[in-house]
Structure 1
Amino acid sequence: MSIPVVTVGTAEEDVVGGLERLHGPVTVVRRCSELAELIAACQSGLAMAAVVAEGCRELTATLVDRLGAVGVSVVALTDDPEESRRLQSIGVVAAAPGINPSALADHISEAVGRVASIAGAHSGYGSAFSDPAAELTGVPAPADVEEGARGKGEIIAVWGPTGAPGRTLVAVNIAAELAADGKSVILVDADSYGASVSAVLGLLEESAGLAQACRLADQGLLDDRALESAASFVFTKGGAFRVLTGTTRADRWTELRAAALSTVLELARHAAEFVVVDTGFCLESDEELTFDTMTPRRNAATLRSLEMADLVLAVGAADPIGIPRLIRGLADLASVVPQALPRVVLNKVKQSTVGHSPRRQLEEAWERFGPGRAIDAYLPSDPAACELALLTGAVLLEAAPDSPLRHALAQLVCAPGQQKRNSLGRSTRALRFYKR
């Protein structure tokens, strides 16, 4: 079967003409005058491959991701070695402008086969654009990462429904506890509605580290050094960890594109043993709110973080309002990210809102109305410790090391020293939960 191809660029005549004369593996179905016309042709289902003979500097990870979502692979012609490396990092097949037409046809066939295989392997991804049925392409691992280091780190996504159940509190403090245990940690603030990690840690909000990293990733320019430059270091008595701060204004959510965030999280996974992501609350796909299928989605950062997570912590407030919200949220989570198997964490547990023997009361209510998934951890309410930590811009490990809440959070990460202090007695791989 011949592969339909669209092309763009005034320098295409020799190469494209050669493709047309092959009369074999590829068929040029349209010559476009500009990149926008090529994108429109690809989205209409006209082609399976796009050859960009001119204007390849306009290609970004987001654009390549979107074209891959409709089954179109991209081949760009450039004689700049630096540009060639950038294009390859965002999933483009790069070739020299004077390439033999037959060799170019082989490149096109290879690129089409790669997009098809990646789309099949990642068919669960669907959060980057307004088309909810789009199957997004996977993100290639950074070229400067050694093969032995691939997949080393774990991504822990901290999610919870609306109503401030304590997502940021949990994310910040488990990052601090992991760092205190000697682990290398990167904390990512991916909340596109109300990023607050920098405020909780007392960091200056002069720049958004995650947005900076995403911009570089979208251009194919993010590497280990750039990631380290975008991150802020937080030093505690127990250890240090890096933070990619969130957007300084809510209207900057468009900078958190799903394709770029995927690259950031993959590179962070290679650079640290644990990547802790503070996500937003909303799981809606926004398809009814947009008319341009190239428009990014505000909830893409949350959905993509959940899709890529090795572990999802679902945090809910332990009160008559928070429990029903969490139950409904877990149902929504199972619908939009079915591969996620969240661990349920009830926060702000106290007698005044639950009644006498709050844990028993919560267990009974959860057994009656819950989604059939057990509660994995209970975090006691400790407003005094939280207020002190917020006032001083510190984590509980420093502000209130003997706080019951801090001890409960330490049990979540199960550090050996913390296990001894809390008499846990045993541990699992990297993260375990306090069982009943």
Structure 2
Amino acid sequence: MNAPEPIQAENASHGLRFGEFVGLMASLMAVNALGIDIMLPALGRIGAELGVSVENHQQLVVAVYIGAFGVGQLVYGPLADRYGRRPVLLATMGVYALMSFIAAHAGSFDLLLVARGLQGFAAASTRVLSISIIRDCYAGRRMARVTSLCFMVFLAVPILAPSLGELILLVAPWHWIFYLLGAFSLFVGLWAWLRLPETLAPERRRPISVRSIADATWATLSNRYSIGYGTASALIYGGLVGFLNSSQQIFAHVFHAPELFALCFAAIAGMMALAALINSRIVERLGTRLVSHSALVAMIALCLVRLVLVLSGQETLLLFALFQGMTMFLFGLTGSNFGAMAMEQMGEIAGSASSIQGFISSVIGTAIGLVIGQSFSGTTLPLTLGFLLGSSCALAIVFATERGRLFQAHNSRPTTPA
């Protein structure tokens, strides 16, 4: 078999150096990740200052954001397919910054949640646009590799964000976290305005009409790879949302080590970055299906072992960090590959397809994560069961999607954009 062709920046429609393109797409993805992870150390202080009486309700600062993020994706796909990627990106980065500043000055928990919801709604564009822009320029295994590289750079955010949040809280009130979020979104918007050309060719733009939206929705939902891998990804993502919702409470109330939260969170997130690096090196050679299907099976086995430890009362902080880190590593090998396979046949409607798939993933994932988080009662059992049930159902869906042919490649060579 011939070696995979290298990705060349000059062959892509973005016209940037490859490293700058990866950095910009990773930064765009990071706007959303930073909006979630930097908040985690501050949830207790926000709840105390704004009079939240039920501790689990503090999780709504994250859950409302993620829920609005899911709904917003339905809007940005058609807009990006009609008007192009660039104007939508610039407008939403401005709205995100504005909502950040409103949240910083919120005088009540209700107003904060409204601002967080609108912030998440604006952030939804980052998921739709990053995938659409990458799909405009790459496809197939190359898209999976580019996505993995972007994901690897982007994962520096969840590794560092909780520590950054704690650092801010050492010298300033929690409001300054929102100032930082607004400033970062403006930075990304300025970078895109100065350097990123429009990647959607005029002849590929689609009018906004009931007919065009219905056609794109039907094409996305009727394609078994699109809906199959999109739904499977959502089920696994639910476990991640559950971890984000309850992680601060787990460290504080289960293991009584809140001071180790930022360090352990960074180590756990670092395993996702390692997975993204490894995936970028092997996916063009081994294929998205072999890598992601193997990782999914391994995740189920890992969750079963972890469940035994939890039920027997043998889980320590060290074991929790190790098992959660390994779970995140396997999650990293499934996420970008599932996303690439879901988009394989969606080149002509990349924006709309990305928004629909993102909506499904976010809404299902948020619902599962909210159940996991609100079920927290002093143990890690809800989180463990969430990952086990989610990954098991995901495997069943992937098995049906591939009609029983797991691990087998469909294309042996990288493909070019549609």
Instruction: Name the TM-score class by shorter chain.
Output: under 0.3
Q: Calculate the TM-score normalised by the size of structure 2.
A: 0.27
Which structure has the larger Rg?
1
Name the structure where strand makes up a greater proportion of residues: 1
Name the structure where helix makes up a greater proportion of residues: 2
Q: Calculate the TM-score normalised by the size of structure 1.
A: 0.26
